Structure 1
Amino acid sequence: MDSLTQAVLGAAIQGTVLGRVQGRRSLLYGAALGTLPDLDVLIRYADPVSQMTFHRGFSHSVFVLTALALLLAWGVHWLARRRWPDKGYTYTRLFVAFWLVLLTHPLLDSFTVFGTQLFWPLQWVPESWSAVFIIDPVYTVPLLAAVSYALVKGLAGRATYVMGTALLLSTAYLGLCLAGRVVIEQRFASALSQQGVIVADVRAVPMAFNSLVWRVMAKAPNGEYYEGVSSIFDRAPPEMQRHRFNLELAKPLTDVPLHDRLRWFTDNWLRYDIVAGGLIVTDLRMGTPGNYTFRFKMAQRNAAGSWEAITPQRHRSAGPDALFNRQDLSLIWQRILDQQPPLPLAAWTSRYLAETEGQ
């Protein structure tokens, strides 16, 4: 999730657990600690695939963060016994506060689609529960309001109760979003089944800034996939289109370590296209139909016309700005309550992927 959300979550947790001991400072300490795992973005890697797939790695591991919470609790408790013996600090309370603040950061990240390596160094597929978009005001605003109230009023009165209530509501919201994802995936699979299409894997991802309209993908056994859009409030079958992964184009990347890592990180939700003599690998999980956030040029033709792998480069059509097309966002928001007219999926795909060749 975004840094503001992680900061107010950390502030609310530490304020709730340690607010009566630390006062308003608990909010500041919690906000700082809650954003600590994201300092891994300061590490620079040699290529964009490594930059993407090593983010949310060791700094988001439950093992590393639990050890850090133990260490911090020991340090603060040791210092408190000498400098503030009457404050009421206990090792257990300190550990619980620090552990919750640190651990909720990667857990919240896991509710997005990007991928969080919760169990690093174990090489399990990163957790990607796809319940909320990376920025979700419905989740963030109640926590921000509760923390702001505590900053103004102090922690001696009702503020602890207010923050605790906001934490419960925000957690319940995540549960509702997960349930919504299950409903959407079942609806999409059912619509395909009625067409006689049996799919191996279905993946729903909330579209920008809401968890009411979902982009849904389904893998077919013949190297094809279906991509569509469905709202929680739909009564008719979702609109969808059929595409190919173009897996035959991936041969030049056989046994290329960065390609293998990208397949692992995305759970193999990759599409391949030839663009201007370059092999473009697309992570299908993030973006809007045809307009995806992460696309990488990973091979190109040499002078002899043969393919050779290269150090990955970010493809020019990709990037976070791809999510913020105002016209597309307006249509997506209208789609929440009304299926007519349907979203222009084919037009979007044509607009953003028209330059591809070799389909």
Structure 2
Amino acid sequence: MDSLTQIVLGAAVGEAILGKKVGNKAILYGAIAGTLPDLDVLASYFTDTVTALSIHRGFTHSILFSVLFAPIFGWIVSRYEKYKNFKNWSWLFFGAFITHPILDAHTTWGTQLFWPFDIRLAFKTIFVVDPLYTLPFLVFLILAFKQKRNTNKRSIYNKTGLIISTTYLALTFLLKAIAYKQFKTDLESKNITYLQIDTRPAPLSTILWSANVETKDAYLLGNYSFFDSQPITFINYPKNHDLLGKLKTNPKVKQMIAISEGWYTISQKNGNLYFNDLRFGLLNFNPDATNFVFQYKIEVDITGKVNFIEVPKNKKDGKKMLSELWTRIKGN
């Protein structure tokens, strides 16, 4: 999830664990702990794109990280804070650390909660930025922050925020199931033979859902809103995996395919090959769109080394997508 959401979650967890003992400092340290796992993004400054992607939401988002580092941070804080209980500080950091990847596991990218085992949990029930999850949570956290340490109102406000956010997160599984059934029914009504379906929420919403449908030689991409009155329109994108040729056996290419979970197409433009990660869809809702959210130019240097260069996103496309998103949410 986005940084603000993780700060709010970490702060609320910190308050729940240690708020009555240290007051607003529990919120402060919880907020800090809630953001620490995302420091793995710094890997992009020291390594290549593929390696950085494989590291992201890896070790720092694991149970092992939480177990190992919570006592370390708990010990450090207990050394200089007036409240010296090492055990309770450790529980605060553990709570904030572990809830971070658990929340991230509900997004499309997912997380390697069981690192070093190569298992990525990605329930794909919530977008990385979802105001319906974050804003009510934030409001109740602010209300709790304004109360005195030992008042019942403070605890009630914080618990209410946690209950609302958790309930909404649970509800997203039901919404995903309804959308999945709708996609499946529509495909069957069109007599489309497919291998598998992958569904995910559209940006900023759990009202609009997107689906990737794998067929033998192509992927079908479609969107469904709970306000739709017309059948779903699926757009065909040829796999073009054969364009990779011998590159398909290259370790970096194989690693990239694994990261995308096999949901990718290859396109060619001006003699260059592009790797399109389908898991995050497109930047607009046009039927002929080809500007994927994550698109990488495949470069091969004179030594045969393969590099993936992420294609920069156009800000105009982002603004246009937000405009089109609201229109599409209201139904087709």
With structure 2 as the length reference, what TM-score do the two structures score? 0.89
Q: Give a deviation string over 1:311-333, Cα, whole Å, max 9, x none.
A: 22222xx43847x6333322221
2:306 paired residue number: 310
Report the alpha carbon displacement of residue 190 of structure 1 after superposing the two structures with TM.
Answer: 1.6
1:20 paired residue number: 20
Correspondence list, 1:1-359, <5 A: 1-43=1-43, 44-73=45-74, 79=79, 84=83, 89=85, 91=87, 93-124=88-119, 126-157=120-151, 158-220=153-215, 222-288=216-282, 290-299=290-299, 310-315=306-311, 318-319=312-313, 321=315, 325-339=318-332
CA spacing shift, 1:74–1:311, aligned 2, 3 Å: same
Distance 1:52 1:114 in 2: 10
Q: Number of paired residues? A: 323
Q: Which amino acid aligns with 1:60?
A: H
Distance 2:72 2:318 in 1: 45
Report the alpha carbon displacement of residue 279 of structure 1 after superposing the two structures with TM.
Answer: 1.1
Report the alpha carbon displacement of residue 28 of structure 1 after superposing the two structures with TM.
Answer: 0.6
RMSD: 2.4
Report the alpha carbon displacement of residue 11 of structure 1 after superposing the two structures with TM.
Answer: 0.4
Report the alpha carbon displacement of residue 287 of structure 1 after superposing the two structures with TM.
Answer: 3.7
CA contact (8 A) 2:138 2:161 kept: no
Gaps of 5+ in 2: none
Distance 1:40 1:103 in 2: 15
Report the alpha carbon displacement of residue 31 of structure 1 after superposing the two structures with TM.
Answer: 0.4
Q: Percent identity?
A: 30
Distance 2:315 2:54 in 1: 20
Distance 1:136 1:292 in 2: 21
Report the alpha carbon displacement of residue 95 of structure 1 after superposing the two structures with TM.
Answer: 4.3
Distance 2:306 2:26 in 1: 49
Distance 2:93 2:185 in 1: 44
Q: Which amino acid aligns with 2:40?
A: D
Q: Give a deviation string over 1:282-334, Cα, whole Å, max 9, x none.
A: 101114253322111124698xxxxx66322222xx43847x63333222212
Distance 1:16 1:162 in 2: 11
CA contact (8 A) 1:48 1:312 kept: yes
Q: Give a deviation string over 1:165-210, Cα, whole Å, max 9, x none.
A: 1111101111111221122122112211122223222111222211
What secondary structure does 1:53 align onto?
helix
CA spacing shift, 1:65–1:335, aligned 2, 3 Å: same
CA spacing shift, 1:84–1:62, aligned 2, 3 Å: closer
CA contact (8 A) 1:62 1:118 kept: yes
CA contact (8 A) 1:278 1:301 kept: no
CA spacing shift, 1:22–1:196, aligned 2, 3 Å: same
What secondary structure does 1:248 align onto?
helix
Report the alpha carbon displacement of residue 250 of structure 1 after superposing the two structures with TM.
Answer: 2.3
CA spacing shift, 1:299–1:83, aligned 2, 3 Å: closer
Gaps of 5+ in 1: 303-307, 340-359
